[in-house]
Amino acid sequence: MNKEGKLLIFSAPSGSGKTTIVRHLLGFPELNLEFSISATSRERRGEEVDGEHYYFISLKDFKTHIKNGDFLEWEEVYRDNFYGTLKKEVERIWAQGKHVIFDIDVAGGLRIKRKFPDQTLAVFVKPPSVDELKKRLKKRKTESEDKINMRIAKASVELATAPQFDTIINNTDLDTAKAEAYNLVADFTGLSKNEK
């Protein structure tokens, strides 16, 4: 793989605000970011669009991609629910001369960091508390109580990995978290002070 651009990883338990922060950062042309679209074997939800929210691929095809070594990282997040980053997705973004930004689960984020230690900034977005996470997930109204409880159980495990990341953003106040994320990315990508 051509290793030109930087890799900016935002990982967190579901409901921590990482997606909101990543969308915010994509709104700044000077950061020169492009979103890495993950592949998944799960079904589409609601208004999701293939090639925009995820690359939706069948379980069978996903397993073929694994066997062929097409993924930079992948994981079976829940039974038969695979998520991963296709190598060609990162190559597509680097070919445009841009930096890759990921909104990715904790295990996947750490795998990418291990593969590209010098050009990766791994940021962990920490929610105010597990109770607050549960409230945010319920407010979304996209998943059953069982799914929410699964996510909360997983969150406790994920929170324990925070020290393995380069930096932690405490998302108690969203505006502060967004500003902190912007400064981290600008510094890491070498945006000079007068460009900010």
Right CATH for 7-188 from 3.30.70.1450, 3.40.50.300, 3.40.50.720, 3.40.50.280: 3.40.50.300
Residue 2 is predicted with a pLDDT of 52
Strands 33-35 and 71-78, sheet pairing: unpaired
Is residue 115 pLDDT above 60, yes or no?
yes
What is the residue type of 184?
L
Our measurement of the distance from residue 172's CA atom to the centroid of its chain's CA atoms, rounded to an integer in Å, reads: 19
Q: What is the DSSP letter of 128?
A: S
Please give the Cα distance from 16 to 10 (Å, whole number). 11
Q: What are phi and psi of 98, to 5 degrees?
A: -110, 165
- The whole-number average pLDDT for the span 93-119 is 94
Please give the Cα distance from 10 to 178 (Å, whole number). 12
Please give the Cα distance from 11 to 17 (Å, whole number). 10
pLDDT digits (tens, 9 = 90+) for 63-104: 999 999 999 999 998 788 999 999 999 999 999 999 999 999
Question: Residue 1's pLDDT band (boundaries 50, 70, 90)?
Answer: low
Is residue 187 pLDDT above 80, yes or no?
yes
Query: In 3-state terms, what secondary structure has residue 24?
Result: helix
Please give the Cα distance from 128 to 10 (Å, whole number). 16
The residue extents of the domains of the chain are 7-188
Please give the Cα distance from 155 to 196 (Å, whole number). 34
- The whole-number average pLDDT for the span 181-192 is 92
- The whole-number average pLDDT for the span 23-38 is 97
Please give the Cα distance from 113 to 120 (Å, whole number). 6
Residue 196 is predicted with a pLDDT of 54
